[in-house]
Amino acid sequence: MEETSERQPKNPFRGRLAFVGSGVMAEAMIKAVLRKGLVTPEQVVASGPRPERGAELRERYQVLTETDNAAAVRDADIVVLSVKPQVLPKVLPDLFARAAARAMLERGTRGRIVNMSSNCGKVGYPRMAAYCASKFGLIGFTQALAMELAPAGITVNAICPGWVLTPLVQQQIDARAKREGIPVEQAQRDLLGEKQPSLQFTTPEQLGDLAVFLCSPGADNLRGAAINVDGGWVAQ
């Protein structure tokens, strides 16, 4: 019986979970792991939030917060990266090369790294060159790191959402409605109809649930995947 027990993978939710980023996506994933009872708030650290945002997350979820990304991920078994594209060049080398992956290897942890990319990491779009470049690069980084860490049992995968009804997307919808002189509801339908065949927004909760799966034993052999959650957008 002891021999069988030793062959079983570690439960990835026994250690610390570090969420690098404090926006809508990161908060949805925090809510998902807490809602499912997979961790206690004391196991969760949100890294990089502005002081006021950090206070909001602490009050709302009783989680830990940290302003130093490297310090936040150093003791983490699971790292979820959800940051703005313009900070990726600064975050990636420090976060993974010097902190998260190295610490997991030193501890012998069967860790999890989940990167938030985008459908714009798979298909280019006009007037979005810099954003697409960052998201394409993040998928390439995910695949390369997944191969490097695979022998150690550390998985690295990416989530690629389409339209998610975040405050930023709502601003685009409102601007379109004003520009075209149409109701906001019609502007929303038109936006979805152009690209997202399901005609439904992907929800932050759906992204959180997918991140939970990627961190579970069921995803032990899922390596270097970039999973579309876009209502069929990229499949067209």
Whether residues 119 and 63 share a domain: the answer is yes
Asked if residue 182 and residue 125 are part of one domain, the reply reads: no
Same domain, 93 and 34: yes
Q: What is the pLDDT of residue 68?
A: 78
Q: Residue 156: its pLDDT value, please? A: 93
Please indicate, yes or no, whether residues 82 and 180 belong to a single structural domain of this protein: no
Structural domain count, the chain = 2
pLDDT at residue 25, rounded to an integer: 79
Task: Please check whether residues 49 and 108 belong to one and the same domain.
Answer: yes
Asked, for residue 214, whether it belongs to a domain, the answer is yes
Position 156 in a domain: yes
Would residue 235 count as lying in a domain? no
176 in the same domain as 65? no
pLDDT of residue 49: 64
Among the listed residues 61, 131, 136, 213, the single catalytic one is 131
Q: What is the pTM of this model?
A: 0.87
Query: Is residue 125 flagged as an active site residue?
Result: no
- Asked whether residue 96 falls in the same domain as residue 197, the answer is no
Does 103 share its domain with 178?
A: no
In a 10 Å sphere around its CB, with 0-12 CB exposed, 13-18 middle and 19+ buried, how is residue 97 labelled? Answer: exposed
Residues 133 and 196 both lie in one domain = no
Which residue numbers in the chain have pLDDT < 50? Answer: 1-12
* pLDDT score, position 95: 63
Is residue 82 located within the same domain as residue 171?
A: no
- For residue 2, what pLDDT is reported? 38
Are 141 and 27 found together in one domain?
yes
pLDDT at 177: 96
Q: What is the pLDDT of residue 206?
A: 92
Domain of 196, in residue numbers: 165-201
Q: Quick one: pLDDT at residue 214?
A: 93
Is there a domain that residue 234 lies in? no
pLDDT at 146: 92
**b vs e for 187-198, b when ≥16 Cβ sit within 10 Å of the residue's Cβ?**
bbeebbeebbee
